[in-house]
Structure 1
Amino acid sequence: MSVRCDGGLIRLEGPCPVEEAETLAALLLAHPGAGVEWSGCTGMHTALVQVLLRLRPPLHGSCGDPFAARWLAPLLAPSDDG
């Protein structure tokens, strides 16, 4: 499985296809405040990107998907105005 809950972290591992978006959203909603460890993610479907942008969980590590690491990580970084 590419999306799984491991204690207080939700891990994204390997390729994360569209089918995993619902699982990711359900886990984030069931575990408020849970972080997402995405270092092991090698590919992320845009549906998962939308879940992350909407729910804005704390992210741990650097995303293994080069596109997400370059373009998504800065959008999800904690803001300095909060």
Structure 2
Amino acid sequence: MTVRLDGTVIRLEGACHLEDAEALTVLLQPREARVVDLSACRSLHGAVVQALLAHRPLLAGEPVSPFLRDLLMPALAVERHAPASNL
């Protein structure tokens, strides 16, 4: 299994596919502070990335994939700010 709960840490391992997005979302639903460890992750389906973007969990570990490490991790680390309103 590529999405595994280990105590309070959610581990993403290997190639995470479309069906893993639902499992990840279920594990991220409780508002408990959970950490997602990406150190054993090789690739992420776009739906898994969307789940991470939507829930913004704390991330741990550095993926071995240069794409995930150099491009995706910085995008996931950016804080979201509410747009300014002129109302």
CA distance in 2, matches of 1:6, 1:19: 19
Query: Which amino acid in structure 2 is aligned with residue 33 of structure 1?
Result: A
- 1:7-63 CA deviation, whole Å, 9 max, x = no partner? 010000011000100000000113621000011011110110000011000000112
Gaps of 5+ in 1: none
CA distance in 2, matches of 1:18, 1:40: 17
Query: Which amino acid in structure 1 is aligned with residue 16 of structure 2?
Result: C
SS in 2 for 1:40: strand
Query: Which amino acid in structure 1 is aligned with residue 30 of structure 2?
Result: A
Where does residue 2 of structure 1 map in the other structure?
2
Larger radius of gyration: 2
34-43 or 68-77, larger mean C-alpha shift: 68-77
SS in 2 for 1:13: strand
Where does residue 53 of structure 1 map in the other structure?
53
Gaps of 5+ in 2: 80-87
Between the two proteins, what is the percent identity of the paired residues? Answer: 46
45-54 or 68-77, larger mean C-alpha shift: 68-77
What is the aligned residue count? 80
Matches within 5 A, 1:20-39: 20-30=20-30, 32-39=32-39
The structure with more strand, counted as a fraction of residues? 2
